[in-house]
Copies of this chain bind each other. A is one copy, B any other.
Amino acid sequence: MEILQSEIVHAELRAATLHASLTDVSMESMNFLNQVADTYPDAISFAAGRPYEGFYDVARLHAYLRTFCDHLRDERHMSETEVARALFQYGATKGIITDLVARGLAVDEGIEADPAGVVVTVGCQEAMFLVLRALRADDSDALLAPIPAYVGLTGAALLADMPVLPVRTGDTGIDLDDLVVQLRRARAEGRRVRACYVTPDFANPAGVSLPLADRQRLLDIAATEDLLLLEDNAYGLLTDAAGRPPTLKALDQRQQVVYLGSFAKTAMPGARVGYVVADQRVTGVNGETSLLADELAKLKSMLTVNTAPIAQAVIGGKLLDHGCSLVAANRRETEVYQRNLRQVLDGLTRRLGHRHDITWNAPTGGFFIVLSLPFTVDDDLLAHAARRYGVLFTPMHHFYGASGGFRQLRLSISTLTPDRIEEGLDRLAALLDERLNARNGAGNGEPLSGGTS
């Protein structure tokens, strides 16, 4: 067969021919926010949702690895050859620390998880994608999720071609009346609603937490409506508040809840280890049954094969060093987060407490506070804040897919020191002062306390 020799041209792809997620508005959001942060690296950032890094120490990595290897030798009776193989070679698709993850859930959350129902994933992000990929079989499938939504959830849904149908968020999390309305509406439109995603504890970005009675009612709705719940709990342990209500998974008696776990905030993001508890029964065409975890593992074998055993060993070592309690492992970090949270809340009260048109919520844990303002909080305002005042935050509209949140901003408290918080709040107050004055005409606004930097 003869092939005509063409002139040498460079291959070119058109973005319009690539997967639709690449041109979705949420990708633009991420890009814009990263760009602002990169352009103003010295700005005081209330934007970054990263964990506190003041206690990071490379020597600990070596120590965690040694702890885990000792565990393999002493508790799993492995020879040196077997220990080396466990870390260097391909490993079980579900992971090599499913038992330690289960022990941790029992110790910290009172969740009794069978290790067979656990899949260790490349961060919680892969867990979200695996669950959505498994549940997305045809074009009628859809997911319910409270808006504002975590961008990781939105992204995973885009990659899985799974539409997200918004549910309203109230002052204490998902609006359960609206959930039922949206569920029934979706079904009436011919949608197959596969699940509802929910973050009951200190949700990103809203910072809100669901009261116990609402958790019970949400589980009842799930049972009545035959609705799977995807519970994301990245922040639940990061509080010293007494009486935190149990997770949905701890309350779940009917396997209605798939539990999405992260070690990014409670151990370290750099291991990229998360997990999913998926103990639901799946019935095959011939009546045989498996666990949803086994089905997710099949998908994982085709996506990342297994989570790096070396990374699992680091997390396993950290768990073992603290009796599998991440509450115990995070006492110092939790102190920092709680101190920062109180300092920002107190600082907002001192600076803005007299303004009745500016409000904010008061979470008792996690990383996030939401401020509501009497003017538009758009990307221009963020760019102006960065350039003129050297302070960063996240306009909430980025979590609404451009459908709301236009007068709100998110403050993240996780990475700052006390000095930077005071200075940052001064800068933020100066920005708000300027904007309120501009809105009211120069000199007519109520003065805000705090000067520019």
One of B89, B269, B299, B314 near A22 (C-beta < 8 A): B299
Selected interface stretch from A5-13, A341-349, A382-390, A399-407: A5-13
Q: Shortest distance in angstroms between A296's beta carbon and chain B's nearest beta carbon? A: 9
By a CB distance below 8 angstroms, the chain B residues around A284 are 15
Task: Please state if B4 and A224 are interface contacts (CB–CB under 8 Å).
Answer: yes
Per assembly, the copies of the chain total: 2
One of B11, B19, B91, B181 near A133 (C-beta < 8 A): B19
Interface residues of A in 383-419 (CB under 8 A from B): none
Interface residues of A in 265-300 (CB under 8 A from B): 268-273, 280-285, 290, 292, 295, 298-299
A449 beta carbon closer than 8 Å to chain B? no
A contact residues, range: 35 or more
One of B9, B155, B223, B264 near A254 (C-beta < 8 A): B9
A165 beta carbon closer than 8 Å to chain B? no
Contacts A123-B304, A311-B310; A280 near B12 (Cβ below 8 A): yes
Contacts A302-B155, A310-B314; A15 near B91 (Cβ below 8 A): no
Interface bits A203-236 vs B (CB < 8 Å: 1, else 0): 0000000000000010011011010100000000
Task: Please state if B302 and A152 are interface contacts (CB–CB under 8 Å).
Answer: yes
One of B18, B81, B89, B308 near A295 (C-beta < 8 A): B18
Q: Shortest distance in angstroms between A332's beta carbon and chain B's nearest beta carbon? A: 15
By a CB distance below 8 angstroms, the chain B residues around A372 are none
Contacts A1-B180, A13-B282, A30-B301; A310 near B61 (Cβ below 8 A): yes
A366 beta carbon closer than 8 Å to chain B? no
Contacts A88-B269, A89-B56, A310-B314; A221 near B3 (Cβ below 8 A): yes
20 A-B pairs with CB atoms under 8 Å apart are A1-B177, A3-B224, A5-B224, A11-B280, A12-B280, A19-B137, A21-B302, A22-B134, A22-B298, A27-B298, A30-B298, A53-B88, A58-B69, A58-B83, A61-B65, A88-B269, A89-B269, A126-B303, A155-B301, A270-B308
